[in-house]
Amino acid sequence: MFRIQLGLFRHLGSAFCAFAALTLACSEPEQAAPAAVDTGGSSGSAGDGNLFASNDIGPGQDGAGGGAADRAADGGAAAPVSDAAGGAAEPDGEDVGEVAATVDAGASDDGLGVADPGPGHDAGGLSADAAADADTAKTDAMTADGATADGAKTDGTNSDALTTDAAGSDAAANDSGPPAPDAAADGTAPDSGPQVEKVVRFAALGDTGTGSPTQYKVGKALGDKCKQSGCDLVLYLGDNFYDTGVKDENDEQFKLKFEDPYATVEAPFWVVLGNHDYGSGGAGAEFLKKDHYIKYGKKNPKFHLPEAWWHQQKAHVHFFALDSNSLLYGDVLAFIIDQQVADMNKAISASTADWKIAFAHHPMRSNGPHGNVGCYEGAKAAPIPQLCGIIPVASGNGVKAAYEKLVCGRLDALITGHDHGRQWLNKASSTKHCKDVELLISGGGAKTTEVETKSKGGYEFNPFHWQDADKAGFLWVEIKGDTFYGEFIDEDGKVQFSRSFQRTP
């Protein structure tokens, strides 16, 4: 007989009590589901029994609570980028192409059209002059032949750079920022004509909600980076409020664990929820808690969460926000995930954006303690491979099924948290990787746990470009044209690793 650790019973209990938890959650007076808002066809309502009722926000409406002018008024506007030549900073361009909606599965229009920004405006949120000046000040110091964790070499479309050495990571090299524009064939500077390349800059961090000094330190480093390099938005990856979420939209945790730590970050946070945000001691079974966060977001547009799952386009990048906590319960309560999968499948199919990026709390693959989807907690709750996947809910089979349908082979990247470290996995060196998708984990926003370097028990190790769980930090990304450039930055503001790759048309 196998000895099953205490953690197994906790996960089993969470699964078998799911229906009871739903009943309890629905009985809490302060968590009553709000009436559905009719905006031209919603995909569900509180009255039809759908706990994740979603309202469709029609074309032309900004789900973030307004455009650039509105965000400037509420302190949520992206920081302007200074003129690299020492001149005054240019004003932000208009935020075009933003559409926040959870798609109505029966509607004929997803509202995914992108407006023309008009002359003088950069669809990525920067003015043409500011973007051109900032880009010309950058130099390309990334290498194209760094050795990866498994000994593979990068190809001509990727380049990795490190400022510190880490066990099992790529070769060290100096980093000095995103790639500079290529020179013309005759050696002259690139054409600075009227066309401006689309640029979106954003940060990503998760598992932040501690209110600890480390969270505040990372928040300061994030604010400094956004002022220095620009941030159009910040992906907030869940477990935003430990340990059991908030009690209502007026909970003081919003100030202590969100407003104060990120006071210097002048960009909206695009939010997804994690299992701790949904309460039940981290089991995530109090599904109606989502309403508290949505209501708070209506009061504070810097906390952008229009629905439990949603999608929005920024310039040439379409972001898909997945509620992976509800997906976790999909193998025992299928009705919880059916609507989300249908909505997001339709939105992804309809999108014509150059880049498609999903973000969620739970990872597809990870070298952290929670491990790989379909065998979450594999080294603990499933000490041998044969036990992987048999534990309801906790194994993550519901998440796995949804990711395989929505993400793998369809999107360019999946950015998640859950494990408290930072990882950039190597898709070229893994047969188990999510097909054609870059997997990045940025769950070290306030605390860290270990990362594995070899397989053990039910856990299977993943090749990586870089990983670290010694220091807290965040991910910063610039998507310029067809190039994705990312930096992992620690709590002290130091760039520890950078890498770029080209989009495959």
Q: Is residue 13 part of a domain?
A: yes
How much of the chain exceeds pLDDT 70, in percent? 61
Task: Write the DSSP assignment of 67-103 as a string of letters.
Answer: SHHHHHHHT-SPPPPPPTTS-PPPPPPP--S---BPP
Q: Is residue 463 part of a domain?
A: yes
Start-end of H helices in 230-305:
253-254, 290-299
- Residue 377 is predicted with a pLDDT of 83
pLDDT digits (tens, 9 = 90+) for 92-137: 433 433 333 333 333 333 333 333 333 333 333 333 344 444 443 4
The residue ranking higher by pLDDT, 206 or 23, is: 206
Lowest mean per-residue pLDDT among 85-89, 355-359, 388-392, 487-491: 85-89
Q: Is residue 159 part of a domain?
A: no
Q: Is residue 181 part of a domain?
A: no
- Residue 161 is predicted with a pLDDT of 57
Q: Is residue 142 part of a domain?
A: no
Range of the domain at 223: 6-135+196-502
CB proximity list for 441: less than 8 A, separation 6 or greater: 363, 366, 368, 415, 416, 417, 418, 419, 421, 422, 423, 424, 425
CATH number of residue 301's parent domain: 3.60.21.10
Instruction: Tell me the average pLDDT across 175-202.
Output: 60
Instruction: Tell me the average pLDDT across 348-370.
Output: 97
* Residue 140 scores a pLDDT above 80: no
Across 56-60, 81-85, 151-155, 487-491, which has the greatest mean pLDDT? 487-491
Which tokens sit at 120?
């003088």
Lowest mean per-residue pLDDT among 71-85, 298-312, 359-373: 71-85
In this prediction the pTM is 0.69
432 band by pLDDT with thresholds 50, 70 and 90? confident
Instruction: Tell me the average pLDDT across 44-62.
Output: 39
Q: Is residue 172 part of a domain?
A: no
Instruction: Tell me the average pLDDT across 62-82.
Output: 38
Q: How buried is 140 (Cβ within 10 angstroms: 0-12 exposed, 13-18 middle, 19+ buried)?
A: middle
Number of structural domains the chain divides into: 1
Angle (deg, nearest 10), helices 397-406 and 334-350: 20
Q: Is residue 114 part of a domain?
A: yes
In DSSP terms, 466 is beta-bridged to 424
What is the chain's mean pLDDT, rounded? 74
pLDDT digits (tens, 9 = 90+) for 247-294: 999 999 999 999 999 999 999 999 999 999 999 999 999 999 999 999
Q: Is residue 272 part of a domain?
A: yes
